[in-house]
Structure 1
Amino acid sequence: MEKEILEQGLNHNRRKFLSRLSLGIGSVALGSLLIPDLFTGKQEAEDGLMRALPHFAPKAKRIIYLFQNGAPSQLETFDYKPLLTKNFGQELPESIRMGQRLTGMTAGQSSFPLVGSYFGFNQYGESRAWISSLFPHISSVVDDLLIVKSMHTEAINHDPALTFFQTGAQVGNRPSMGSWLSYGLGSENANLPAFCVLLSRGKGNGQGVYSKLWSNGFLDATHQGVQFSNSEDPVLYLKDPDGMSRDQRRKMIDQIAALNEMNYQEFNDPQITAKVQQYEMAYRMQTAVPEITDTSKEPDSVIKLYGPDCLVPGTYAANCLLARKLSENGVRFVQLYHQGWDAHDNLPNQMIGQAKDVDQATAGLITDLKQRGLLDETLIIWGGEFGRTNYCQGKIQPENYGRDHHPRAFSIFMAGGGVKSGMVYGETDDFGYNITENPVHVHDFQATVMHLMGIDHEKLTYKHLGRRYRLTDVHGKVVKDLIA
């Protein structure tokens, strides 16, 4: 008997043994993707290393990023510079510009006349922060805000600047911030993706928004942002086809999963398991998404907070309300893009329309989260890809002027999620051109956001093409002065 067993064992050579072993490991791996709780614990292997996330106790659990695409002017929002109004039409001193580069749109100008804001500014709240008269609702929640007036970036044109903010690089094919957080922390709700994207279009000049901004890059496809639309179907291709029941859909997905498991066992391609997981997520979203996107049950008090536009699908206000509902239901990262801030001319009129779009809904979102006890664990971010020049682009008139791109100094604000409230951080010179105090680079901003989510930005890495990548590349430091 022992001899027969030995002979059978010898017939199983090393190649067969390893082949069958890999099939078993592949099945286990696929099972862990289909059933995330199959194995308990928050550690997963990556190139032989174990990374435990979060790295430390997080200040925030979720992020709602209200990206103002096209670059709103800091000089008409949060950076009050009365000297520009006083010196209207005078030349920008060379000692201020110091030969810094310009875009092709103003590099050929023979003069650079200073122009102040058409709109008045006032101080609000206990922080006495200066805010433009364009934003009466945001002014009312100023003591919940952390205004950063000293942001800066290298990118001087829209696409690379926008891509830089979202992915940490000015070129494409890098994972977005939401994808990194999905990869590191996953979702709090098995029936919803960890990363959702909402788009709205304002009344001003727009800049393009492309899917590369919410791409998973070289991470698994499961970490790509899921775009919601303003159509009858918020997520395309989610409904069952005509004539197919839910039970039939379940059987179809099971059969596809079985076929994909066979392919995975043969080719060991992780994209196969990612595709299976996407099918499973889509099936679970069929129940969760219609309920979340239904605003008919929202009380009048909530509609009043966000404004009547929140009942119009696809508007900024509607997306702010949807962002709250998604975040409230465990979506880790909600990215909202609002287009229309690219005011190279006719800036006052464009700013009026844009501010009307975003003012009440932004303040309403902050107030709504605060009333629900969710603001402390939800980080709100509001801002664009760079700022605007203090000099006029083209013909200058007090009530009709434009501003070019300005990456040297601009403003954003944050609220909730572990940041200090009622505070203004950083300062620019009297011309609003250069930073004079506490500069914050885009990578510093990204490192700080990751820190608030309990992540050491230097440790959350992914090996791709022989190199370890991270959101902040090889840069960035946490700005601890911003953290409560």
Structure 2
Amino acid sequence: MNDSILSRRDLLASASSTLGGAALAGLLDPASAIASPTGLSSPHFPPRAKRVIYLFQSGGPPQHEMLDYKPHLETVHGQEMPASVIGGQRLTGMTAGQASFPVAKSIFQFDRHGESGAWVSELMPHTAKIVDDICIMKSVHTDAINHDPAITFLQTGFQIAGRPSIGAWMSYGLGSENENLPAFVAMLSGKGGQPLYDRLWGSGFLSSVHQGVRFRSDKSPVLYLNNPPGFSAELRRQTLDHLSQLNQLRGDNVGDPEIAARTAQYEMAFRMQTSVPELTDVSDEPASTFELYGEDAKKPGTYAHNALVARRLNERGVRFVQLFHRGWDTHNSLPKQLRARCRETDQATAALVQDLKNRGMLDDTLVVWGGEFGRTVYCQGDLKPTNYGRDHHPRCFTMWMAGGGIKPGLSYGQTDEYGYNIVQDPLSVHDLHATILHQLGVDHTKLTFKFQGRHYRLTDVHGEVVEALLS
């Protein structure tokens, strides 16, 4: 038994020496580590996008009040939803027991905008100005009906926690373009609503080097990044050098690839000590930037500030940036809550697209906007114009994309006159993921990782690239 254990240990040590050597080579020559392949040696085909900014609106924005205009609701307001429209759909426990399901029209005005003539709510005057730059997708649908599985599904392609997030897949597949910054950054804003967990930007069963790094809103954007008082940069450098040697010895002994990943993360943190403070300090931006994004862009922790930092991250080669904004869960008092969410996000969202366009970056930056599902056309609770709410609706909801080779000014998909069912061009979450990967030059069926005997991918065994969305 001892001989077999020693033999196996020797084998692991031998196998790990290549991995450990690669890690040390990366430390001695960081540029070579950045250029080295991860999941792919190169894109499968020429990419249209080099980077992604995903503006995730957590809670489920109500499509009827924002981008999916349904004039028919004016004539049927207050009437019972036809059973033929509901069609036996599974409902949440919050409305399944309601005695009736009255149709609730939107109290907000819609108008056509741009050369595309897209219908946009009065709540989104800034988005209305960029409709010719975005592709509005009204026929997105999901398998999940409650928040946590639905958010997990949008982020990982699976409803149960444990899979890598979409940003981690990007990092694994394409690597980083900047040795001083992570390939994947996440930022949070907003209050209340559903909780957001680290696993939503986690690496799952991929190496932890691919997990998203969360930037916070206080004086230290990344936890434990700064040296403690009395601890100099030179001493930190010496400490990391000695620590990497110890990790190398341990890695050679046990053959755990996470040891090399940990060493790489320590080195990244060391380089981020100088790159991150400069990045998150927006005081060097001209006055015109804050006229575009709004004064909130000067305030760390706001959605506007995060949107501006997202642009600065993309300028520096960060592959995937994701903003999470909470508070879109409008089961009641929808008008009040929705006005507040749109005030917080509309100007900065449109500004980001316009800013990227002005800088010549929109062509190779893919911007994605949307939540985990939509809201019902029937009312939840009080039907009064000031108090009405809407429940979760996974059967159809609206998202949009811009830049990165996506067809601008397009309105894709169609829902019925109630905005309850898809009647044209359904778009699944897996299709969305496949299309995003495609724009980055990645065949979603070929970006895989073997775990527990099976080859996994972001789109599982599903997904088709939606060619109609591509320019």
The answer as to whether partners of 1:33 and 1:273 remain within 8 angstroms in 2 is no
Correspondence for 2:301: 314
2:134 aligned partner, one-letter code? L
| Structure 2 equivalent of residue 218 of structure 1 | 205
The partner residue of 1:55 within 28, 44, 57 is 44
From the superposition, tell whether residues 40 and 322 of structure 1 become closer, same or farther in structure 2 (CA, over 3 Å). closer
Alignment-derived partner of residue 286 in structure 1: 273
- Residue 84 of structure 1 deviates from its aligned partner by 1.0
Which ranges of structure 2 fall in alignment gaps of 5 or more residues? 1-6
Determine if the alignment matches structure 1 residue 105 to structure 2 residue 99.
no
Query: Does residue 429 of the first structure (1) align with residue 440 of the second (2)?
Result: no
CA distance in 1, matches of 2:9, 2:276: 46
C-alpha separation between the residues in 1 aligned to 2:41 and 2:19? 23
Cα distance in structure 2, aligned partners of 1:319 and 1:371: 19
Tell me the CA shift for residue 16 of structure 1: 11
Matched residue SS, 1:56? coil
Say if 1:208 and 1:457 are closer, same or farther in 2 by CA, change over 3 A: same
Match of 2:70 in 1: 81
- Counterpart of 1:25 in structure 2 is 18
User: Is 1:248 matched up with 2:201?
Assistant: no
What amino acid does structure 2 have at the position aligned with 1:184?
Answer: G
Q: After TM superposition, list the pairs within 5 Å mapping 1:40-439 onto structure 2.
A: 43=37, 51-202=40-191, 206-439=193-426
Alpha carbons 2:47, 2:439 under 8 Å: kept:
yes
Distance 2:48 2:14 in 1: 43
Aligned equivalents of 1:40, 1:370: Cα separation in 2: 28
Residue type matched to 1:403 in 2? R
% identical aligned pairs: 55
Letter in 2 for 1:179: A
Report how far residue 96 of structure 1 moved: 0.6
**Deviation at 1:195?**
0.3
1:114–1:52 CA distance, 2 compared to 1 (3 A) = same
**Structure 1, gaps ≥5 residues long:** 1-13
Q: Which amino acid aligns with 1:111?
A: S
| Equivalent position amino acid for 2:411 in 1 | V
Structure 1 match to 2:3: none
Aligned with 1:473 (options 439, 460, 463): 460
Cα 1:465–1:261 shift into 2, 3 Å = same
Q: Secondary structure at the match of 1:390?
A: coil
SS of the aligned residue for 1:334 comes to strand
Count of residue pairs the alignment pairs up? 465
User: Is the 8 Å Cα contact of residues 31 and 179 (structure 2) preserved in structure 1?
Assistant: no
Could you tell me whether the CA contact under 8 Å between 2:26 and 2:33 is conserved in 1? no
* TM-score, normalised with respect to structure 2: 0.95
Residue 122 of structure 2 aligns with an amino acid whose one-letter code is S
CA change 1:151–1:400 in 2 (3 A) is same
**Superimposed CA distance per residue, residues 18-70 of structure 1 (whole angstroms, 9 cap, x where no aligned partner):** 688557535423324434544897556x8xxxx43211111100101000000
Partners of 1:109 and 1:39 lie apart in 2 by 58
The 1:197–1:23 alpha-carbon spacing in structure 2 relative to 1, beyond 3 Å, is closer
User: Offset at 1:246?
Assistant: 1.0
State whether residues 163 and 171 of structure 1, in contact with CA within 8 Å, keep that contact through their aligned partners in structure 2: yes
- State whether residues 156 and 164 of structure 2, in contact with CA within 8 Å, keep that contact through their aligned partners in structure 1: yes
CA gap of 1:195–1:93, structure 2 versus 1, over 3 A, is: same
CA offsets 1:188-211 (integer angstroms, 9 cap, x no match): 100000000000015xx5111111
